[in-house]
Amino acid sequence: MLGGTEFVGRAVAEAALARGWDVTVFHRGRHEPPAGAWPLLGDRTSPDGLAALAAATDTWDAVVDTWSAAPRTVRDAARLLAGRAARYVYVSSGSVYAWPRAAGYAEDAPLVEGASAGADATDYARDKRGGELAAVEAFGDGRSLLVRCGLILGPYENIGRLPWWLNRIAAGGPVLAPGPRELPLQYVDVRDLAQWTLGAVEAELDGAYNLVSPPGHATMGALLDACVRATGSRAELRWTDPEAVLGAGIEPWTQLPVWVPPGSELHTSVYSGDVSRALSAGLRCRPVEETVEDTWNWLRSLGGAAPRRADRPEVGLDPAVEAKVLGI
């Protein structure tokens, strides 16, 4: 596991350990690796950052890489491991598809242009596509698996989307709930992502897979209702028309995490992917209530303050803006 101490990487490492697998975690030492994993320390961004990995005498059945910055970092690791690992799993993103995406886009949809396996960091979409190219360049089509995730939720989240909603609702009072309640969402619980990925390794799958729940697996209403129940809050969800939300200058997705206006290009691009290939390959998605409750329990174990990646923007709505829109 390249990484393996935060969010997706940690979920994959823990799931592999739970299966009885031998897990090596190559990380920078900023966080404790999962108990039972064999740690190797190194910073992939430094000139000699792969030294500990190069010196190790192990071979592996699979490498899982979640890197999301400069593609050359994936390239260097993949080249080093090409003769010592059977398969390279690169956790990519639906962002690699060209914008805007057509409704029901599948794995053969057009991809972003201008990506390169040897590039420095540019933007998220091209960086992820460059990482894909790097994995395939080193391992070939038959030994590389590209896991194109959509919105990822669940315990260990270090982006802040579901944690923000949980903490906001736990605080109580009137809550700006962006409508409509029936707005279909599409996401994947990080633990379902991990289990599918490990199953794909066992099945020796290759190529690209959209990995996210079917569209409408949950709705905005189901998600926020689950937050109310999980926190035991007396918060009042005040459902507000999308026009009023947008008219107040509120940014979808960031200021109101997860939410994007219905019928918009953004909603089509984020919440309408075709996941039939992953479903046929064993993807199972747990109920939204379980994802929310387990995330809340994890948050409480941390005292409510979720970790946040420094390279991602803060999410959430200013209380003053919320109060103004609600007229309170």
Domains, the chain, in order of start with CATH, read 7-152+189-211 (3.40.50.720), 157-185+214-274+288-326 (3.90.25)
User: What is the model's pLDDT at position 310?
Assistant: 82
What is the average per-residue pLDDT within 286-314? 93
DSSP 297-325: HHHHHTTT-----TTS------HHHHHHH
pLDDT band at 198 (very low <50, low <70, confident <90, very high): very high
User: What is the model's pLDDT at position 90?
Assistant: 98
Q: Is the pLDDT of residue 308 over 90?
A: no
Q: Is the pLDDT of residue 313 over 90?
A: no
C-alpha torsion sign, points 187, 190, 191, 192: positive
How do residues 91-149 score in pLDDT, each as one tens digit? 999 999 999 999 999 999 999 999 999 999 999 999 999 999 999 999 999 999 999 99
How do residues 241-296 score in pLDDT, each as one tens digit? 999 999 999 999 999 999 999 999 999 999 999 999 999 999 999 999 999 999 99
| Overall pTM surpassing 0.85 (yes/no) | yes
User: What is the model's pLDDT at position 306?
Assistant: 87
Q: What does the chain come to in residues?
A: 328
User: What is the model's pLDDT at position 309?
Assistant: 87
pLDDT above 90 covers what percent of the chain? 97
Terminal-to-terminal C-alpha distance of the chain: 49
Looking at 19-48, list the stretches that DSSP marks H as alpha helix, in order from N- to C-terminal side: none
What is the average per-residue pLDDT within 177-181? 98
